[in-house]
Structure 1
Amino acid sequence: MIQVKSSIVDNQFFSHSPLSKEQTMIFQTLLKERKKYTYKNEQQLLFELKLREQILHTAIRLAKSKARFTIFRFSRCNEQFWSRNHLGGFELKKNVTPADGINDIFENSQLYAFECATAIVIIFYKAVLDTIDRQTFNQLFANLLLYDWHYDEDLGVQTKTGNDYIPGDCLYFKNPDVDPEMPQWQGENTIYLGGDLYYGHGIGIKTKDEIISALNKRRKKAAKKSAYLLEQTTRVDFKYLSRFANSEQRIALPFDPSHLFIGKIGSSTFLNL
């Protein structure tokens, strides 16, 4: 169920503004949910549809890339853009913009290897980059660190209990009887692509049963518990990010008469000459 302002939305809501195939799928899924999804205006809803669509496109692009799955100990990155720290995370170099750093993962994917949680965060960043203004992205996400579930607070990632799975959500498959010799397979973070398809870094684009089967092959001897899909969703803060849908939403405050401005985008403060 979708509510925009004070009205419940129906199938005809976007009749004046045709949606793409992916946006229509996402819109229809939201409509059919028993949970009510509320939006201040049409633009806020449309932004979520566009960003979720980009999450799908980005997940598929990463699936087709040459980036490899590995544990933190063996992670690797393009050292022209990132510095690999002692934990196996990637720290953006000082002379590199966040947009350039994220884009390089897809342009030179053969130079990268990371595990599935980092992959999800990378997908979220890239999708946001392809949805909002590039300069705004750089100001929002300065000093990027890619490591496990570490992410900039402006992504607003939240995990909530529930089975209201919407395409573009991150869903988790848990493997309770994982082989202790392969702890990296204790679960799989995936992007839900719609229908019965999920993308997990290291597993690829698979159905629910195929992912469960892959995880079950990594269980300890005499395992009794099957892997399963958790009833939870992990999402970026679509409503918050919609504030940055275009560059006109920047805030600038006068600093002195010489036209030096100090501004704030999200949690990042910057100077504008």
Structure 2
Amino acid sequence: MIRILSSPASIGVTDSLSLPPAEQRIADALVSSPVLYTYPNEQQLRFEIALRARIVQAAVDLAKSRARFAIFRFSRCNSQFWERDERGGFQLRPGVPPSKAIGDIFINSELYAFECATAIVIVFYKAVLDTIDTSAFDRLFDRLLLYDWHTDRDLGIQTKKSKHFLPGDCLYFKNPEFDPATPQWQGENTIYLGDGLFYGHGIGIQTEDGIIAALNRKRKRGATKSAYLLSEITQVNFAYLSQFSRPLDGFRFPLRSSFIAGTLGSAAFLRR
């Protein structure tokens, strides 16, 4: 369910201002969720929908790219944009705009190899790049380092307990009895794409059962405990990043006949 704290009068049924299909699916998921999502205004809601859609698209694009899975020791990158450090991380070269360096991962993907946590961070950065002003991106992330879950504080990575997730959320599959010889398979960081599908670097786009089955094949001999999906989600800070948004189309939340809108004071509520 969605709660918008201001401008409830602008909530109404409309066909002419409906969202693109990828964004409409996310709007539908927000409205249908048993979790209450609260926004100060419609524009911040609009930004989150747009950014979530771009996270999903960036994950699909990375899955289709020629970037490979590799543990840190064997990671690789395009040296024109990045310096590979002794840990296997990628440090932005001096004078290189971070927007160009992130974009290059998707343009010259065959030059890159990294593990699953770095892949998720790359997806987040690419989605943010596609949603906020480019000059703001270059200013916010001018000391970019891609290494495991190391992220710039302006990305605002947050992890919280929850059994409910939306397209664009990062979820973790834990493999409690992984093979010690391949510790990289102790779990898999994934992006939820919607429609029951997840992207995990090194595994690809799979259902929940597909991710679990892939991890179970990486368990130690005699293992009896299955891999499983943790009840936690990891997200960027949508509210903070929204202040750097590129201009978005005028927004009036497109209700469908199956949506119920109510008001309480200055707040509007949307649910299925």
TM over 0.5: yes
Q: Which runs of 5+ in 1 are unaligned?
A: 248-273
Q: Which amino acid in 2 is paired with 1:3?
A: R
Aligned to 2:205, the other structure's residue is in SS state strand
**SS of aligned partner of 2:23:** helix
CA positional deviation for 1:8: 8.1
Report if aligned partners of 2:6, 2:41 keep a CA contact under 8 Å in 1.
Answer: no
What is the identity, as a one-letter code, of the residue corresponding to 2:155? L
Distance 1:223 1:185 in 2: 14
Which 4+ residue blocks in structure 1 deviate beyond 4 angstroms? 6-9, 11-16
1:60 maps onto 2:60 in alignment: yes
Change (3 A) 1:104 1:164: same
* Residues 51-130 of structure 1 mapped to structure 2, 5 A cutoff: 51-130=51-130
Gaps of 5+ in 2: 248-272
Residue 24 of structure 1, CA deviation: 1.1
CA distance in 1, matches of 2:15, 2:41: 16
1:200 CA drift (Å): 0.4
Give the Cα–Cα distance (whole angstroms) in 2 for the partners of residues 229 and 7 of structure 1.
38
RMSD (CA atoms): 1.8
Q: Equivalences for 1:191-210 in 2 at 5 Å?
A: 191-210=191-210
* Paired position in structure 2 for 1:49: 49
Kindly indicate whether structure 1 or structure 2 has the higher relative contact order, using CA contacts under 8 Å at least 6 residues apart.
2
Shift of 1:34: 1.7
Q: What is aligned with 1:154?
A: 154
Asked if 1:137 is matched to 2:143, the reply is no
Percent identity between matched residues is: 59
Corresponding residue for residue 183 of structure 1: 183
The number of residues matched between the two structures is: 247
Cα 1:102–1:219 shift into 2, 3 Å: same
C-alpha spacing 1:182/1:42, structure 2 compared with 1 (3 Å): same
Does the 8 Å CA contact 2:7/2:41 hold for their aligned counterparts?
no
Shift of 1:136: 0.8
Q: Secondary structure of the residue that 1:168 maps to in structure 2?
A: coil
| SS of residue in 2 equivalent to 1:188 | strand
2:244 is aligned to 244
Is the CA contact 1:2–1:8 (under 8 Å) kept in the aligned structure 2? no
Query: Structure 1's 12 and 210: CA in aligned 2 closer, same or farther, altered over 3 A?
Result: farther
Q: Are 2:172 and 2:188, in contact at CA under 8 Å, matched by a contact in 1? A: yes
1:26 corresponding residue in structure 2: 26
Deviations 1:19-67 (A, max 9, x none): 1111111111111112211111111000000000000110000001000
Contact 2:131 2:246 in 1 (8 A): no
Cα offset, 1:15, TM superposition: 4.8
- Give the alignment's TM-score, normalised by structure 1: 0.87
